[in-house]
Chains A and B, each alone.
Chain A
Amino acid sequence: MTNTENFVHELAEKHGRTRNALMPILQGVVAREKYLSEEAMIAVARELDISAADVYGTATFYTFLDTVPRGRNVVRVCKTISCHMHNKDEIIRALEEQLKCKVGETTSDKKFTLLTANCLGWCHKGPVMLVNDDVYPELTPQKAIEIIQEYNRKSN
């Protein structure tokens, strides 16, 4: 078995092989591999004995279950109204410049993917972004860049 198949197998052992276990398993794969590869989705389908199309159909519904490759760090900047009013555009511009990629893209060294997201639940402290699971409220362009530099160092 490949690495991915092994990992999916472990997740199935942990969460069980019922349909109700599908989300936790897919979330487990994304937490480690950052996205759901074709190989991973087929492995999940085999473990749960459902069709790969069902796995794909479910996964593609959810914004956080990516089916295209993502960088090691996924950055999501809130673009909803409160953050919009508090200059999220400046944050996005600063990040695009720093990472040298546009929203929706992944850096060439595969370290970062830059995305936007809808309201992250920190509207009183916008603008705000998530890097992976961690949240960074009250951003300034400078602060956002420093946070990214820190992640960059950590992923070396």
Chain B
Amino acid sequence: MEQKQLKRVDLIFEWDEKNTPIQVLDKTLQKTPDAIILEMIDSGLKGRGGAGFPTGLKWKFTRNEDSEVKYVICNADEGEPGTFKDREILDRVPEKIFTGMAICAYVIGAKEGYIYLRAEYNFLLKSLQQKLDKFNQQLKERQIDFSIYLRSGSGAYVCGEESALFESMEGKRGEPRNKPPYPTVAGYNSKPTVINNVETLVYTCEICRMGAEKFKALGTSDSRGSKVFSVSGDTTKPGIYELELGMPLKDFIDEFGDDDAKAVQVGGASGHCVPRKKFNDTIIGFEGIPTGGSMMIFNSSRSMYNVLHDYLEFFTEESCGQCTPCRVGCQQLLKGIEAVKKGERPPTYLEDLKKLTLTMKIAAKCGLGQSVANPFISIVDNFKEEIIY
């Protein structure tokens, strides 16, 4: 059978000798901040950290804030189960991240930038610091008043949530804040802050290198450009792949599945589970199912009860416990599916649990509690027998 190959893209890890990141920076700083913002908006780039907010607008809002002190922060807390692309980017092309941050700093008027690296990636600290020292020195030589510093996390998934990340950097418990105010108004140290995902920042550097037009030519009208996918689970080709956005899930499975895929969890524990019968009409992108990059494939030997159980354990452990719907909700969902499995509760109890996740979606304070409904409902609805029996 002839297989349709997905279109590979090579932007993120490509090293253009004639256009190194620092040269891209020099070239870009010739433009006005407003011209750069227009280019970002025109490119259609949306955040790659999960929420998908248009990057150009984020930069514009922060630029428009009237404040002496502003910050640019790189979110390198990558904790979503199934996601490992940021680690690879941090390891292989950190100069592109630094350049994206420096361009952002120029646009919004920031003098300090931070990279918040999850503790699990501490082994990267030494080489990152060396490369950062060199980059900061290059900025100094150019008389650019901006420096980047490294900060470490300490093992808390919720600190990837932007406001929790600020709390952590401020020396507090990583508990998400109420929004508004949004980071563009009051972020780190309550100052206007741009916080972007590692991959987003690299794309801003790439867009400055090759122009918005070329970037826009990739992907679809709702999902411009490409994205780095982290492929794991029951796959013949586990690893990291940069692919065009807007691909049908079917094509993805044809290439990465093991011929026996029964479901794909798109977007990690907080994402959606897509069963085989829906592979054909599911699009990976902002018009379909968006993802921070995690693509986890399950074949027919896997129990979806175990998968859901793992996810709920994950959320129960990682919930910051600040708000009741999430703290108690996660625990009750876990207990609930265990009770149904043991026959202590009737199968109809699953409907009550689904309602609970919908309550959490409305009442939980941050994205963690709000998104538990995604895996819960998509797994329970599509694999009810496996959950019950």
Binding site for B on A (CB under 8 A): 18-24, 26-27, 57-58, 61-65, 80-82, 84-85, 117-126, 130, 133-135
Report chain A residues within 8 Å CB of B82: 81-82, 119, 123
- Tell whether, in the assembled complex, residue A23 and residue B84 are in contact, meaning their CB atoms are under 8 Å apart: no
Query: Shortest 8 CB-CB distances between A and B: which pairs?
Result: A22-B171, A63-B155, A124-B238, A62-B154, A64-B155, A123-B232, A61-B173, A119-B81
Report chain A residues within 8 Å CB of B233: 81-82, 85, 123
Given contacts A22-B171, A121-B79, 5 further A-B contacts (CB under 8 A): A58-B172, A62-B154, A62-B155, A121-B78, A121-B120
Q: Which residue of B lies closest to A132 (CB)?
A: B122
Q: Which residue of B lies closest to A62 (CB)?
A: B154
Once bound together, how far apart are the Cα atoms of A23 and B122, in whole Å?
14
Q: Which residue of A lies closest to B306 (CB)?
A: A84
In the complex, B15 has a CB within 8 A of chain A: no
- Tell whether, in the assembled complex, residue B83 and residue A121 are in contact, meaning their CB atoms are under 8 Å apart: yes
In the complex, B240 has a CB within 8 A of chain A: yes
Q: Which residue of A lies closest to B159 (CB)?
A: A62
Interface majority SS (helix, strand, loop, mixed), chain B: mixed
Q: Chain A interface: which of B25-33, B50-58, B307-315?
A: B307-315
Report chain A residues within 8 Å CB of B296: 81-82, 123
Once bound together, how far apart are the Cα atoms of A57 and B322, in whole Å?
13
* 30 pairs, CB–CB < 8 Å, chain A vs chain B: A18-B171, A19-B171, A22-B171, A23-B152, A26-B154, A27-B119, A27-B154, A58-B171, A61-B173, A62-B174, A63-B154, A63-B156, A64-B119, A81-B296, A82-B232, A85-B298, A117-B155, A118-B79, A118-B318, A119-B82, A119-B314, A121-B79, A121-B84, A121-B118, A123-B233, A123-B238, A124-B84, A125-B238, A126-B232, A130-B120
- Tell whether, in the assembled complex, residue B314 and residue A118 are in contact, meaning their CB atoms are under 8 Å apart: yes
Report chain A residues within 8 Å CB of B92: none
- Tell whether, in the assembled complex, residue A81 and residue B310 are in contact, meaning their CB atoms are under 8 Å apart: yes
- Tell whether, in the assembled complex, residue A85 and residue B234 are in contact, meaning their CB atoms are under 8 Å apart: yes
Contacts A82-B232, A124-B240; A23 near B314 (Cβ below 8 A) = no
Report chain B residues within 8 Å CB of A124: 84, 230-232, 238-240
- Tell whether, in the assembled complex, residue B311 and residue A81 are in contact, meaning their CB atoms are under 8 Å apart: yes
Instruction: Give the distance to chain B from A52, nearest Cβ to Cβ, in Å.
Output: 14
Once bound together, how far apart are the Cα atoms of A18 and B168, in whole Å?
13
Report chain B residues within 8 Å CB of A27: 119, 152, 154
Report chain A residues within 8 Å CB of B157: 118
In the complex, B42 has a CB within 8 A of chain A: no
Convert B168-182 into 0s and 1s, putting 1 for each residue whose CB lies closer than 8 angstroms to a CB of A: 111111110000000
Report chain A residues within 8 Å CB of B120: 117, 120-121, 130, 135
Q: Which residue of B lies closest to A80 (CB)?
A: B81
Instruction: Give the distance to chain A from B245, nearest Cβ to Cβ, in Å.
Output: 21
Contacts A21-B171, A57-B173, A120-B120; A64 near B83 (Cβ below 8 A) = no
Task: Say which residue of B86, B119, B307, B317 sits within 8 Å of A81 (CB atoms).
Answer: B307
